[in-house]
Structure 1
Amino acid sequence: MLNNPIFKNFGAAPVSNRSSVSQNSISNQRYLGWVLFSLIGLIVAEIVNLTVPDTQEINNLAYRIALLGLILLYLGIAAFSWFNADRRGKFITRAPFRLAMGIILTLWDLLSTKFDILPLPFFPGPSKVTGVILEEYGFLLQNTGYSMRLFFLGFLSGIILGVGTGILIGWFAKVHYWVFPVLKITGVVPAVAWMPFALTVFPTSFVAGVFLIAICAWFPVAYMTTQGMASTQKIYFEVAKTLGAKQSYLLFHVALPNAVPQIFTGISTANGLAFTTLVVSEMMGAQGGLGYYINWAKAWSSYYKVYAAIIIMAVLFSIIMKGIALIQNRLLIWQRGLVK
């Protein structure tokens, strides 16, 4: 009976006509104008760096390559969006941000490398910051790899423990009675508060860091999983039982799928908390990582290296967030048309 087509479609989202730019509403000429508008700031930044003489002794190669890479990247995105109206619309909506980014980079370059107005070493220019990638490529790569190993081991462990805990609390009344109060009490404690305990109990700083990241990821994922399980409407269970569903089916095919949106909300929240905990744990005792690199660079007043590490962290965090969003959109494709 569970193969009944009525039950298969139960909970499916109706398809609605979402507002989007029609194929003919943006002409090719207008779209090319938006592409130029989007890139003009970065082009000006490149021209300024090439033509205006430096007052600081700086190697501009890495910065010029980075600007050229951004220009080519956005040109590639523009070309990819050419044949799709929705992608054209998204590209156009982000054009002002790209223009502003180019203007900010131009002003930063003029005030630092070109005219030497911003005081050193606290405000290095973009050429100085990006030059770190070429100067210390191997060391940066080594520390970035350390941070990513530490982050993913702790983050994935926290997600697995959080989802498991949330399922147990949300499905079994006795577990909810005994464990949920513990979750609410321990979850509000910042993960870094456990650092003395972790450094004492665990044999290495790496394992202690994994524990801290797992703890900070565990709470939001467990809590949101519990809330998602509890929010499942009773009518869903009644329909499934009418069609002969057993308890295992109700758990894994009714309650858990209903909790998936809340689970991803918890994962997104945990991602930010885990990244913060990663940096703090590496600064407090790790033998590597971007947090360790920032501490080391700060001790030598090499603030341009600190900024370079922060930029790398921002890029990595954005990539991870984008990956989570892609997985979420794939699993929650049924929400399209309901959630905008």
Structure 2
Amino acid sequence: MSNHSAIETISTAEISPIKRASTLSANPELIYAAGAWAVSGVITLLWPNTQEFERTTDLAVLQWIFAALLLVVHVFRGQLAGLFRKLHYNAWRLVALAVLLSIWQVASAKLGLWPQPYFPPPQGVLDAYIKDYVRLADSIRASLILLFFGVGLGALAGFLTGLSTGWSPRVGYWTIPFLRLFGPVPATALIPIVLFVFPTSFSGGAFLVALATWFPVAVLTWSGVSSVDSSYYDVARTLGAKERFLLLKVAIPATLPHLFVGLFMALGGAISVLVVAEMLGVKAGLGFYLDWAQGWAAYGHLYGALIVMAVLFSGVTTLLFFVRDRVLVGQSGGVQW
């Protein structure tokens, strides 16, 4: 390479980050987002409420702090490049969130279009977080323990059921009719029986969550084992592989993509069963918290718990896909999140 070409390459490498930064700075979406949140804070504080609501000032201050943070990230985008890229990509979503928050604020607290206490303003939800964070944290802990215990038990049972069904025709002779007959029965239909039969509400709830997890994991694992190309087994047998090797090194690895699809499907059903079981019988968790809040007409607490559930269970699903991407390295496609 000539000296002229080397200098040109180095210059291009040095200039391209600056050029990229200037291109991003020419797009003021993050400034728009900061402005939207600042205006939303003004509406919260300066527009008079139809009645007294606690935490109105606190909410406005939090909105302005968030707007200031967005401006800081924009100004120091060179030093905070990773955070800036994420916020810049979601800038219009942040604008939409600020607009929706303002609509909620105006309709509930400013104009009184939404009847109280059934539709409290955003500061009502904030007040619930501040006053009842201990009970809410205990509910989150109880739900996560029950969810992970039940899903883990159900996933293990479903994997073993599906693996043995697809691998052994003798086992499949008995398990396939059972899967087809009892698998589609909703786990929630068994709540009255389970909570009566099991000694504790936790064990009954764990069984229901495990049951909701077991069926999709078993069916997808069974499908994965059955769909393995027979030529893989033939090649392995030609090289002297035994049945144990075929099962552990051929069948199970080829089944893993199907297993994670089954886990994704099972997780949604397990979360639904978890909440229903907590509302009807298990005396702990977010479902129990929702039932308690509704019984006491504490609708700020109820909406706060719903928001927590959305964030929490979305995070659990994201964790599942993070594990899948680490286990199935290099395999694209399938269910996306």
How high is the TM-score relative to the length of structure 1?
A: 0.83
Higher RCO (C-alpha under 8 Å, 6+ residues apart): 1
Are the equivalent residues in 2 in contact too, given 1:113–1:127 (CA < 8 A)?
no
Are the equivalent residues in 2 in contact too, given 1:62–1:133 (CA < 8 A)?
no
Match of 2:42 in 1: 47
Match of 1:145 among 137, 141, 144: 141
CA distance in 1, matches of 2:136, 2:103: 27
CA distance in 1, matches of 2:320, 2:69: 22
Q: Percent identity?
A: 35
- Report the CA distance shift for 1:56/1:188 in structure 2 as closer, same or farther (over 3 A): same
Report the number of matched residues: 316
- Report the CA distance shift for 1:46/1:295 in structure 2 as closer, same or farther (over 3 A): same
Q: Which amino acid aligns with 1:303?
A: Y
Are the equivalent residues in 1 in contact too, given 2:101–2:122 (CA < 8 A)?
yes
Are the equivalent residues in 2 in contact too, given 1:81–1:91 (CA < 8 A)?
no
Greater Rg over alpha carbons, structure? 2
The farther-off stretch of 298-307 and 215-224 is 298-307
1:45 deviates by 2.3
- Report the CA distance shift for 1:308/1:69 in structure 2 as closer, same or farther (over 3 A): farther
- Report the CA distance shift for 1:66/1:281 in structure 2 as closer, same or farther (over 3 A): farther
- Report the CA distance shift for 1:216/1:336 in structure 2 as closer, same or farther (over 3 A): closer
CA distance in 1, matches of 2:245, 2:96: 52
Per the alignment, in what secondary structure is the counterpart of residue 335 of structure 1?
A: coil
1:236-315 → structure 2 map (5 Å cutoff): 236-315=232-311
Match of 1:27 in 2: 20
Structure 2 gap segments, 5+ residues each: 1-15
1:189-268 → structure 2 map (5 Å cutoff): 189-268=185-264
Q: Which amino acid aligns with 1:274?
A: A
Match of 2:100 in 1: 104
Are the equivalent residues in 1 in contact too, given 2:224–2:258 (CA < 8 A)?
yes
- Report the CA distance shift for 1:332/1:97 in structure 2 as closer, same or farther (over 3 A): same
- Report the CA distance shift for 1:72/1:263 in structure 2 as closer, same or farther (over 3 A): farther
Are the equivalent residues in 1 in contact too, given 2:29–2:92 (CA < 8 A)?
no
Are the equivalent residues in 1 in contact too, given 2:186–2:212 (CA < 8 A)?
yes
Match of 1:157 among 153, 164, 174: 153
Give yes or no for the alignment of 1:316 onto 2:312.
yes
- Report the CA distance shift for 1:233/1:225 in structure 2 as closer, same or farther (over 3 A): same
Are the equivalent residues in 1 in contact too, given 2:41–2:61 (CA < 8 A)?
no
1:28 deviates by 2.1
Match of 2:11 in 1: none
CA distance in 1, matches of 2:46, 2:322: 41
Per the alignment, in what secondary structure is the counterpart of residue 287 of structure 1?
A: coil
Structure 1 gap segments, 5+ residues each: 1-22
Are the equivalent residues in 2 in contact too, given 1:217–1:273 (CA < 8 A)?
yes
Q: Which amino acid aligns with 2:142?
A: Y
Per the alignment, in what secondary structure is the counterpart of residue 333 of structure 1?
A: coil
Match of 1:182 in 2: 178
Per the alignment, in what secondary structure is the counterpart of residue 189 of structure 1?
A: coil
1:82 deviates by 6.2
CA distance in 2, matches of 1:257, 1:293: 41
Q: Which amino acid aligns with 1:179?
A: T
Per the alignment, in what secondary structure is the counterpart of residue 109 of structure 1?
A: helix
Are the equivalent residues in 2 in contact too, given 1:63–1:131 (CA < 8 A)?
no
Per the alignment, in what secondary structure is the counterpart of residue 334 of structure 1?
A: coil
- Report the CA distance shift for 1:132/1:339 in structure 2 as closer, same or farther (over 3 A): closer
Match of 2:10 in 1: none
- Report the CA distance shift for 1:222/1:68 in structure 2 as closer, same or farther (over 3 A): farther
Are the equivalent residues in 1 in contact too, given 2:31–2:71 (CA < 8 A)?
no
CA distance in 1, matches of 2:162, 2:328: 19
Are the equivalent residues in 1 in contact too, given 2:278–2:284 (CA < 8 A)?
yes
Per the alignment, in what secondary structure is the counterpart of residue 330 of structure 2?
A: helix
Match of 1:335 in 2: 331
How high is the TM-score relative to the length of structure 2?
A: 0.83
